[in-house]
Structure 1
Amino acid sequence: MSTTNALLYCAVNGIANNTNGIGRQTKTFLATLARHHHRLSAHAGAFTPYLAVPEPGPATWGYNEDDLRYARRVVEELGGQILTLPYDTRGAFWHSDTWRQLSDGAARTAGHLADRHDKVLAIGVDTPFAGLAHHAGTHPGVEVLLALFSTARITERPAPDPGRVTWEEEAITAASLHPRAWVADIGDFLTRHLKDHYRLDPASLRSWPSGLHLTSPDLTPPTRTEAERIVRAFGIPAGRPVVAAVGRTDRTKGLDLLIEALAPLRDDVHLAMVAVPTDDDRAALLDSYRHRSAELGLSATIIGRYDRDIPRALAAWPDTRVMAVPSRGETLANIVFETALWAQRSGAVVLAPNIDGFPEQITDGHNGLLYHPTPGALTAGVRRALTLTSDERAQLRANAHRSVVGERNADEHLAALLAAFWQPRTTGVARLLGHPATDARTPRSQAPTSTHHPLEATP
């Protein structure tokens, strides 16, 4: 048996593709491993990283060989590997039958790793791997962490899919009952939501705030020349205030709401929208966005594909006054954090509705703007952004940048998480009381805290 621990990261996006926020989280995880594995190991104990992913191929949404090669290179250089999980590709992917296959396969994989490593932490990322909680007690060397980033009750309001809700409810119940299953506390809103609507036991929580790999090259601001090249390539006019937006062609992203809201401002702004079709039959929404924009007489550029450089350029472009995030439901929007980094020198301030997780990302008038999601409020919010002086915009951007850098360092968050599982001091309360470590349920409020940054404390 290896003297190292194993970290098994199970995800459906970001390994062989990169098409949504979960993909971005996976990319953040990989970048953190690539740069900080040695220091993470020094802080939390030696470990080997593994990735579990649905068997890549034509059925994979946005399948990209380059993404797969990058993920494989990162983990293989650290002694790990990518472990593929077979599933019935003829069925619907976003269905509990498929998720059950994936979760069962990931649990078996974790068990095999436990035969070779001292301890295994299996992280099930979002809904498709929520079923891992049911297997938490099957191998004494395996602990499970469910890292949900949303739920059907958030993204499918007002009528969430009953099958998905049942799947999520059963997973949270299992995590609350099993002594080796935990739920990631990624942010205040989602944690409250899980407690209130899914009866999550607060003692099952482990802190793992949503964050970014802050030094990643794709999070650095582009030069003005770079931004201009990209903006001009899409025909975005010069000298006119730009309202930017980035999202999937998914009703919950609210891109249709932004189009309607800009109708009274058609003579004042240019809409630059990145609207990426999802893996189901929502490509028609892209056409409807274009049609409706033309019908309303908007000056608009609607881009139907995602390239990381496009939102990066739009956020930093001096003419971009607003990065609008008009979601109907959102836990923590990556674009809010990313815009804070891209636009630190010039460009957009973020405008978002005062719902869900946005108030923990944005303090209105301090590091961005919030609006109440009532008729006419989004239009008024854009108008408000347009009336800001250059000094006011600069102050909002500076505050946003300072907040993200100070609170959203994914490297530090991962170091603290791994130490909480693998270092004896993190279960100190239970052990001092004489309880077995496997039964420890130390609420976050009682957990030992540290005043230093974990990675800075190691050589």
Structure 2
Amino acid sequence: MSTTKALLYCAVNGIANNTNGIGRQTKTFLATLARHHHRLSAHAGAFTPYLAVPEPGPATWGYNESDLRYARRVVEGLGGEVITLPYNARRPFWHPDTWRHLSGEAARAAGHLTSRHEKVLVIGVDTPFAGLAHHTGSHPGVEVLLALFSTARITERPHPNPVRIAWEEEAIAAAGVHPRAWVADIGDFLTRHLQDQYGLDPGTLRAWPSGLDLTAADLAPPTETEAERIVRALGIPAGRPVVAAIGRTDHTKGLDLLIEELAPLRETVHLAMVAVPTDDERAALLDCYRERSAELGLSATIIGRYDRDIPRALAAWPDTCAMAVPSRGETLANVVFETALWAQHSGAVVLAPNIDGFPEQITDGHNGLLYAPTPGALTACLHRALALTSDERARLRTAAHRKVLNQRNAAEHLATLLATFWRPRTTPVATLHGHPATDARTPRSKAPTSTHHPLEATP
């Protein structure tokens, strides 16, 4: 048997597609492997990465062959492979029956990996793989980490689906009794939510804060010339402050709220909104957003497709006064972190409601603006953003940029996580690229964990 370890990352988005925040997390994971695998191995022990994904094909939401090729190139280059999980594509995907099947198939794949590796760590990303703890008990070499990024009680307010809640409750309960199953502590709000609403045992937690690949080219701010080219090509007029927003045509993203609350500012600002439909039903919402903007007399550009260069340009464009994130429910919004990097030299200040995980990301008046989730409060917050002086805007952007650099280094977070499973030891904390991993909280666990820094100088 090989003496190496295996890391099996199970995800439904970001491997053969990239259509939401979970997909961005998967892309970050892949980039971290591609850039830092040798250093991760030096500090957590040699390991081989694998990916598990529902069998890609026409049924895959946003299927993109180039995404799948990239994923394969990364893991195959490191000795691993992409494992495709069979399922009945004719049945509804977003239903516990499908998720239970996928969780079982992923557990079976992990069991097969034990014939090649002494230890296998399986990371089940979000709801479709929340059932892994039910299926891995017979494999003593397999440990499971459930990485939930949200719940039905957050994203489906005020009437969450009871079937999905039951699935989530079952998964959390199973993790509590499985001796080798854990739950990722990705952020303070979600962890409190899981404890209060789902009975999560704090002893099952392992710290794995949500992070970014800070060295990624698509997170570097564009030049002003590049931003101007993109903004002008979109037809965004000159001479007005721009309020930008990015999200799916999903009720929870609150893009409709932003449109309504911009009405009092119709003579002042231009709305630049990227609203991406996720299916035929939600495509109708895109037309609703456009029609309602016209009814209210807004100056607006509403873009119904996602191209990463667009939010990057909008965030950094000097005329963009605000990146609005008007969600009705959000654990940790990637766009808050991303805007801090894109707008580090010029452009948007982020504003968001004072709910859920946003206070983790934003301290009002320090690195962004928060508003109460009440009628008229978003309008008032937009007035605040417009009234900021150039020095005040620069101070907020600088603080936002510094906070992300200090707290959201995905490479450090992954190294810390792997070391807690594979290489327990205690050594002084150092830094990577001069940025301490201040958000890598000490995990509360069933066994001793590592406190050494993940990517200190290789011995």
TM-score (norm 2): 0.95
CA distance change for structure 1 residues 109 and 280 in 2, over 3 Å: closer, same or farther?
farther
Aligned to 1:149: 149
Partner of 1:236: 236
Partner of 1:434: none
The one-letter amino acid paired with 1:212 is L
- Displacement, 1:448? 5.4
Report the CA distance shift for 1:161/1:7 in structure 2 as closer, same or farther (over 3 A).
same
SS at match of 2:330: coil
| TM-fit CA distance, 1:238 | 1.1
Residue identity in the other structure for 2:455: L
- What CA distance in whole angstroms lies between the structure 2 residues aligned with 1:248 and 1:68? 22
Matched, 1:119 2:119: yes
Q: Deviation per CA, 1:259-308, whole angstroms, max 9, x where unpaired?
A: 00000000000000000001362110001000000010000000000011
Amino acid at match of 2:52: A
Contact 1:133 1:174 in 2 (8 A): yes
Partner residue in 1 for 2:444: 443
* Match in the other structure for 1:56: 56
Residue 239 of structure 1, CA deviation = 1.9
Q: Shift of the alpha carbon at 1:116?
A: 1.1
Query: What is the CA distance between 1:444 and its match in structure 2?
Result: 5.5
- Counterpart for residue 167 of structure 2: 167
Whole-angstrom CA distance in 2 between matches of 1:447 and 1:297: 60
**Equivalent residue for 1:204?**
204
Q: Deviations over 1:141-193 (max 9, x none)?
A: 00000000000000000100111100000000000110100000000000000
The equivalent of 2:44 in structure 1 is: 44
CA distance in structure 2 between the aligned counterparts of 1:26 and 1:104, rounded to whole angstroms: 21
Per the alignment, residue 438 of structure 1 pairs with none
1:400-452: CA deviation from partner (whole Å, max 9, x where unpaired): 000000000000000000000011338xxxxxxxxxxxxxxx725996564x6
Q: How does 1:287-366 map to 2 (within 5 A)?
A: 287-366=287-366
5 Å matches for 1:351-430?
351-425=351-425
Contact 1:62/1:279 (<8 A) preserved = no
Q: Which residue is equivalent to 1:33? A: 33
| Shift of residue 101, structure 1, vs aligned partner | 1.3
3-state SS of the aligned residue for 1:164? helix
The 1-side partners of 2:448 and 2:380 are apart by: 44
Name the count of aligned residue pairs.
Answer: 443
- Where 1:108 maps in the other structure, the secondary structure is helix
Residue in structure 2 matched with residue 431 of structure 1 by the alignment: none
State whether residues 124 and 147 of structure 1, in contact with CA within 8 Å, keep that contact through their aligned partners in structure 2. yes
State how far apart, in whole Å, the 2-side matches of 1:445 and 1:350 are: 38
Distance 2:224 2:367 in 1: 23
Give 2:283's aligned residue: 283
Note closer, same or farther for the CA distance 1:322–1:67 as it changes in structure 2 (3 Å cut).
Answer: same
Q: d(CA) in 2 for partners of 1:446 and 1:396?
A: 41
Q: What's the secondary structure of 1:456's corresponding residue? A: coil
Name the residue aligned to 2:437: none
Aligned to 2:102: 102
> In the alignment, what sits opposite 1:430?
none
CA distance in 1, matches of 2:194, 2:21: 19
Q: Distance in 1 between matches of 2:349 and 2:64?
A: 32
The one-letter amino acid of 1:340's match is: A
Distance 2:249 2:45 in 1: 42
1:248 touches 1:277 (CA, 8 Å); kept in 2?
Answer: yes
Contact kept, 8 Å, 2:270 with 2:299, in 1: the verdict is yes
Counterpart residue identity of residue 146, structure 1? L
Aligned to 2:245: 245
2:260 is aligned to 260
Aligned partner of residue 425 in structure 1, secondary structure? coil
The answer to whether the 8 Å contact 2:416/2:450 transfers is no
How far 1:138 sits from its partner (Å)? 1.8
- The aligned counterpart of 1:271 is 271
Q: How far apart, CA to CA, are the structure 1 residues paired with 2:199 and 2:308?
A: 38
With normalisation by structure 1, the TM-score equals: 0.95
**Contact 2:424 2:450 (C-alpha < 8 Å) held by counterparts:** no
User: Helix, strand or coil for the counterpart of 1:140?
Assistant: coil
Shift of 1:458: 2.1
Matches of 2:395 and 2:449, distance apart in 1: 36
Deviations 1:236-266 (A, max 9, x none): 0112100000000000000000000000000
Residue 433 (structure 1) aligns with: none
- Percent identity over the alignment is 82
Matches of 1:200 and 1:16 in 2, distance apart?
A: 32
CA distance in 2, matches of 1:369, 1:404: 16
Larger mean Cα displacement after TM superposition, 248-257 or 129-138: 129-138
**Structure 1 residue aligned with 2:430:** none
Unaligned runs of 5+ in 2: 427-442
What per-residue deviation string (whole Å, max 9, x for no partner) do you get for residues 13-46 of structure 1?
A: 0000000000000000000000000000000000
Change (3 A) 1:455 1:327: same
Retained in 2: the 8 A contact 1:207–1:444?
no
Whether the 8 Å CA contact 1:56–1:63 is kept in 2: the answer is: yes
* Aligned partner letter, 2:244: A
Alignment partners' CA distance in 2, 1:447 and 1:326 = 41
Contact 1:13–1:22, Cα closer than 8 Å, also in 2: yes
- Counterpart of 2:92 in structure 1 is 92
State the distance in 2 between where 1:448 and 1:156 align: 35
| Contact 2:424–2:449 under 8 Å retained in 1 | no
Contact 1:96 1:167 in 2 (8 A): yes
Matches of 1:118 and 1:11 in 2, distance apart?
23
